[in-house]
Structure 1
Amino acid sequence: MTTTPAHHGDRPFDAVLCDLDGVIRRYDTSRVTELERAAGLPEGSTAAHAFALGGDLPPLLGEIGRERWADAIARDLSARVPPARARALGAAFAGAASWIDECVVDQLRRVRASLPVVIVTDAAPWPHDDLAALGLTDLADHVVSGSRVGVAKPDPAIYGIAAARAGVSPDRCLFVDDVRENVEAAVALGMTGVHYREPADLRRALAALTPPRPEPGR
């Protein structure tokens, strides 16, 4: 789904702001979901605790390793489930297998030849290290991490920071995220929003950068 405000000029946006996890990097969270169901927790509960700002969880506020992150998730969840289940959930979430969507990477590399690309993430505070390990340091001009700026999506502040890093006003940004609430917040600021589900969603949005060729004889 793409939501586009009225823009003027030859193209509808001058920068692309893109989420990391759920768009560029995908995770196999099937084991986490299985454990949540067994523990009587709503699906997504572990992620909500893992990426919470404030409270007892430090990953979005300070540098920690993945083992300490798993321990912190378990500590936070232990108020809702028995300690053993909390530890299993923390370990499964922090250690979930991931892969890079090469279709998305290819599209972003192509667009970066003409427009700035900014990664906007609420993931744990090592996105630069992750991108380096994955050979993706050339994928974006900037990375805006909630752990570094102290605000997370859908807080309007993080969108403003990302637009400023791109060097354009918010209404000249395309924002791509797999969480509808985050996209709606971006659209409320005047951005073009894409609720990402599959690479074709991004492809359709970026197609707007290439105006259709005139028909012969016109």
Structure 2
Amino acid sequence: MVWFDFGGVLSPPMADIFAAYERKTGLSREQLESAMHAVTADLGRHPLAALEVALITEAEWGRRLRAALRVRYPGADLSRSRLETFGGQWFDGIEANHAMVATLHAVREHGCRVGILTNNVREWEPYWREIVRPVGDVDCVVNSCEVGVRKPEPAIFRMAADAAGVAPEDCVLVDDVEENCAAARSLGWRAVHHRTDADARDLLFALIELETP
């Protein structure tokens, strides 16, 4: 069972998505990430964790984000930012990472089952699902906002293996966050840290003994 991450693997790199958001809104990655950290600092969690396990709604998170931006960057123009419905604007115009979609197709044609293991947001479901439509059907999707835990928490990897009905040693994760890969490996999974599309493809093909074209 080969599990593909969504953000940064089946989607374009996160740097590209932040750059696209800046073109839409004028807000830089630095401004946005700084405000995101402030939003959930009182919860002692990763900036998106509360959102990705559905502890907070997108609307409330967006209101907090707007307030944090006003405090940290009082001169920032927020007029183009739809922060309370963030996902629609964040994903607008974003297409799948076609190189990794092709890799997924090759893996599936090789006879492996494939799944998506993602930290994601309940209100963003229609947007990211549309982006990965070129993937086609997958055998299993495990989404943090539905199961209440997120990568790199061990529980989500156990849930994923159970959902697919496979042993941990039969799972391979492709993820752009090394911490997630390390967590998966600690539970008996194999993992490929996605740095570039070509390297991730070659490493994955070597793991599942698929010849690189």
TM-score, reference length from structure 1: 0.69
Larger radius of gyration: 1
CA contact (8 A) 1:19 1:121 kept: yes
Shift of 1:52: 2.6
Q: Is the contact between residue 53 and residue 149 of structure 2 (CA under 8 Å) also seen in structure 1?
A: no
- Which residue in the other structure is 2:65 paired with? 74
Q: Of Structure 1 and Structure 2, which has the larger fraction of its residues in strand?
A: 1
Which residue type is aligned with residue 74 of structure 1? L
State the match for 1:35 in structure 2: 28
* Corresponding position of 1:7: none
Structure 1 residues 121 and 89, CA gap change in structure 2 (3 angstroms): farther
**Superposition deviation, residue 136 in structure 1:** 3.6
Instruction: Read off the aligned partner of 1:105 and give its amino acid letter.
Output: V
1:115 counterpart residue number: 112
Q: Which runs of 5+ in 1 are unaligned?
A: 1-14, 213-218
1:94-144 Cα offsets, whole Å, 9 max, x none, are 423422111111111221231111101112225653465343462421111
Can you give the 5+ residue segments of structure 2 that lack an aligned partner in the other structure?
Answer: 41-46
Relative to structure 1, the CA distance from residue 108 to residue 127 in structure 2 (aligned partners, 3 Å threshold; closer, same or farther) is farther
Indicate the RMSD between aligned Cα atoms, in angstroms.
3.5
Aligned length in residues = 189
Structure with greater contact order relative to length (CA < 8 Å, sep ≥ 6): 1
Query: Is 1:53 aligned to 2:49, yes or no?
Result: yes
Q: Residues 91-170 of structure 1: matches in 2 within 5 Å?
A: 91=82, 94=87, 95-96=89-90, 97-113=93-109, 114-125=111-122, 129-130=126-127, 132-134=129-131, 135-136=133-134, 138-170=136-168
- Over 3 Å counting, the alpha-carbon distance change for 1:75 and 1:18 in structure 2 is same
In the alignment, what sits opposite 1:180? Answer: 178
Q: TM-score, normalised by structure 2?
A: 0.70
Quote how far apart the aligned CAs of 1:175 are. Answer: 0.7
Higher percent of residues as helix: 2
| Percent identity of paired positions between Structure 1 and Structure 2 | 28
Matched AA of 1:28 = I
